[in-house]
Chains A and B, each alone.
Chain A
Amino acid sequence: MDAHAAHHAVTAAAPAFSSRPEDIAWFILLLPLIAAAGITLLVRRSNFLAATFSLAATTTAFILSFVLFLTFGLGDATAAATPFAWLHAGDLAVNLGVTVDKLSTLMLLVVTGVSALVQVYSLGYMHGDRSFPRFFVGLSLFTFSMLGIVLADNLVMMFLFWELVGVSSWLLIGFWYEKESAADAAKKAFLTNRLGDFGFLLGIILIWAAAGTVNFAELSQKLGAHPDLLGNLSSVAGLLVFMGAMGKSAQFPLHVWLPDAMEGPTPVSALIHAATMVAAGVYMLCRVFFLYQVDPAWPVALSFLGSISALDIIAALGGFTALLAALMAIQQNDIKRILAYSTLSQLGYMVMAVGCGGPDAAMYHLTTHAGFKALLFLGAGSVIHACHHEQDIWKMGGLRSVMPKTFLTFALGTAALIGLPPLSGFYSKDSVLLAALENGHPVLFGLGVLIAAMTTFYMVRLVLVAFLGTNRSEAAGHAHESPGSMTWPLILLAVPSVALAWLPLGDYLRHHFFSDHAHHAAAVSDEISVGASLSALFGGLNQILFEPFNHAPLPAVMGTGALLIGAWVAVTLYWKAERDPLPKLLGALARGMKNRFYFDELYEAVFIPLHDLVARFADGFDRWVVSGLVVRGVHGSTELLGRTLRILQSGNLQTYTFLFVAGVALVVLLALK
């Protein structure tokens, strides 16, 4: 730990509330938990009070996060406080502490911001639901867990909140638990995530066993000093930790839960399955990126992998997921599922960026994506709400005129997602492509461009079919604009979708990941002036907007080209289309896309029966062999012995006496001999 952190450790016993960044971070973390506990214990019968509690906590957390970002995140210092010993046993020491640095303050803003807006939106969307307070408890609990992941300063604490995120997402997906499909989807999401957690936990144990600590700062320092600390298991450890990210961020082959999770209420989809929970995997990879910066090393059994590093595998999996999900998205008709597959695809993009050695690009894309994807989901929710829970885009149409606010914001979100310059998505996507190109992954770069075209294609298809043309069903005809509590969050989210890129976020993140520590420790003074930071932020706006074309024109031009091609194809196919022309054009491929390439069917046909088969065998063994043969065998032989001996027990007094005397005689005989 550096001197700065040591300084804080000394003053850790200071008064309970002060303006030190780590105290504020603790407060931010605990606010939603207090809200959840308060609602459960005090006001669970009052809709109004429940929403007030929850919203007040999250909004306060957002404001505090913003303060933290301005005063602290713009600097270069790292604050870490470890005031709470959680588990100290043997050679394992786990403290609950917070890390406040550029990465976590940015993520705090994303999480609390989206969470607050989603809660406002839920006021309208969930209006009239009989379990309204329970919904807000779930949202608060989720926000708490997610903030825990963001602020965690060690692997075990992160795993702890990782699991809590899993369970709170289970609660929210299964919010309408009386619906069979929702209850099943919740179960599937939880168990799929558990598969990832299995690897994550083993990875943590592996790292701890080699390094003797789970604290990020200490680990990073130790790895910096001894790059071969993890020995020939370093790549395996990296991949195991990545398994955790595979679960939460729904990477192939653990991607199957995310589309099903759309069974939850739409605000949940926006919060969990667009902006935060699924981003946790990418965030975690960025947090532990130092693990992947060592040279690849494999144990003997895996030595054939040679110089392929864990990052290469991560990049390939991310790219593959992105491609696969984009293909699936093309043939979906359910508005939420299209967005779900689009999320999968974008997450693949981010993971690919991490794998290409660009965690800054991944975080950049994560931040912008959180804004516009939450916007798209909430917009979809608004549409679904207006069309009386109709989700098939082919039964919508013509919504542009009846729902102008929703349409405009949705269109803006779409434009950001497909990377239309100068909206935020363009810059973050550009940085991902640039990361792939600069770090020597031309194939993945090509893949990225292809996916960009596909993204444009299916998003334009969605907008054309759902919002333009004429209404194709009764429900769409009666649609009307949603209430203010639902449209205002849309408008508020539209702002970052557009403008986020105009802040120098890319530089901000690059600074975090690739700054030379010694250099900055000298350059940064202890006090950071807010005014100076802000002027630095907005000063170079003009330059920022055109930066991609000046700095590295190839990805920028390719990206824009992909956008144009995708949009052109989509418009020619779907302009005023009454039904989908693609199935005819593509045949079997379209069927495969529509049926998600049969992955769910494959898992259901192979893995689940396999486990059930083993379970069936174990149960049968228990029932027939252990319980049957052994227990009943003991039982039977005892019974047989009893039956034999019973013959002697005639109940006749004189028989007993005779035997008794005979026995005595025998003993006397033996004794006298």
Chain B
Amino acid sequence: MQVGLHHYLVVSALLFSLGLLGVLARRNLLVIYMGLELMLNAANLALVAFSRYNANLNGQVMVFFIITVAAAEVAVGLSLIVALYRKRQSAHVEDLTSLKL
């Protein structure tokens, strides 16, 4: 069986959907965050696949950017979640409905 673009894209779509499901269904902020990362990686996978099959390196360069930015984002996001947990003693989204602390 020849592995083609479609296969990568289907995997990417599956990963994206799983991530989205995690974001929508889970209540714990950390898990939601992991779902977000999954969605990012799904996008990365799709970009790499497009890049490979279009013989164009732009997509892969973009992925490097995304990985770098995502690393920074994870650092900021996790520290926010930790700070939130310290303040509220909870990381559940139901408890965090007001914008003001």
**Direct contact between the two chains A and B in their complex (CB within 8 A):** yes
Give residues in A with beta carbon < 8 Å to B: 650-654, 657-658, 661
Q: Which residue of B lies closest to A661 (CB)?
A: B20
Across the A-B interface, how many residue pairs have beta carbons closer than 8 Å?
19
How many residues of B are counted as interface, with CB atoms below 8 angstroms from the partner's CB atoms? 11
Shortest beta-carbon distance from B101 to chain A in Å? 13
B61 within 8 A of A: no
Q: Which residue of A lies closest to B94 (CB)?
A: A652
Within 8 A of A (CB), among B1-52: 20, 23-25, 32
B62 within 8 A of A: no
A651 touches B23 (CB 8 A): no
Q: Could you tell me the distance between the alpha carbons of A123 and B23 in the complex, rounded to whole angstroms? A: 98
In the A-B complex, the 10 residue pairs with the closest CB atoms? A651-B97, A653-B93, A658-B24, A652-B97, A654-B24, A651-B98, A657-B23, A654-B93, A657-B24, A661-B20
B96 within 8 A of A: yes
B24 touches A661 (CB 8 A): yes
Name 5 interchain pairs, CB-CB below 8 A, sorted by A. Answer: A651-B97, A651-B99, A654-B23, A654-B24, A657-B23
Q: Could you tell me the distance between the alpha carbons of A651 and B94 in the complex, rounded to whole angstroms? A: 9
Q: Which residue of A lies closest to B36 (CB)?
A: A657
Q: Could you tell me the distance between the alpha carbons of A657 and B32 in the complex, rounded to whole angstroms? A: 11
For B94, what are the chain A residues with a Cβ–Cβ distance below 8 Å?
Answer: 652
Shortest beta-carbon distance from A660 to chain B in Å? 10
Q: Could you tell me the distance between the alpha carbons of A106 and B97 in the complex, rounded to whole angstroms? A: 92
For B24, what are the chain A residues with a Cβ–Cβ distance below 8 Å?
Answer: 654, 657-658, 661
Give residues in B with beta carbon < 8 Å to A: 20, 23-25, 32, 93-94, 96-99
Shortest beta-carbon distance from A560 to chain B in Å? 101
For A661, what are the chain B residues with a Cβ–Cβ distance below 8 Å?
Answer: 20, 24
Shortest beta-carbon distance from A95 to chain B in Å? 71
Q: Which residue of B lies closest to A658 (CB)?
A: B24
B93 touches A652 (CB 8 A): yes
Shortest beta-carbon distance from B17 to chain A in Å? 11
Q: Could you tell me the distance between the alpha carbons of A658 and B20 in the complex, rounded to whole angstroms? A: 9
For A651, what are the chain B residues with a Cβ–Cβ distance below 8 Å?
Answer: 97-99
A650 touches B97 (CB 8 A): yes
Q: Could you tell me the distance between the alpha carbons of A657 and B99 in the complex, rounded to whole angstroms? A: 16
A sample of 12 more A-B contacts (CB under 8 A), given A650-B97, A654-B93, A661-B20, is A651-B97, A651-B98, A652-B94, A652-B97, A653-B32, A653-B93, A653-B96, A654-B23, A654-B24, A657-B23, A657-B24, A658-B24
Q: Could you tell me the distance between the alpha carbons of A661 and B32 in the complex, rounded to whole angstroms? A: 15
Shortest beta-carbon distance from A536 to chain B in Å? 101
Q: Could you tell me the distance between the alpha carbons of A653 and B98 in the complex, rounded to whole angstroms? A: 10
For A658, what are the chain B residues with a Cβ–Cβ distance below 8 Å?
Answer: 24
Q: Could you tell me the distance between the alpha carbons of A651 and B101 in the complex, rounded to whole angstroms? A: 13
Q: Which residue of A lies closest to B99 (CB)?
A: A651
Q: Could you tell me the distance between the alpha carbons of A198 and B40 in the complex, rounded to whole angstroms? A: 81
Shortest beta-carbon distance from A388 to chain B in Å? 78
Q: Could you tell me the distance between the alpha carbons of A431 and B51 in the complex, rounded to whole angstroms? A: 118
Q: Could you tell me the distance between the alpha carbons of A606 and B17 in the complex, rounded to whole angstroms? A: 84
For B32, what are the chain A residues with a Cβ–Cβ distance below 8 Å?
Answer: 653
For A657, what are the chain B residues with a Cβ–Cβ distance below 8 Å?
Answer: 23-24
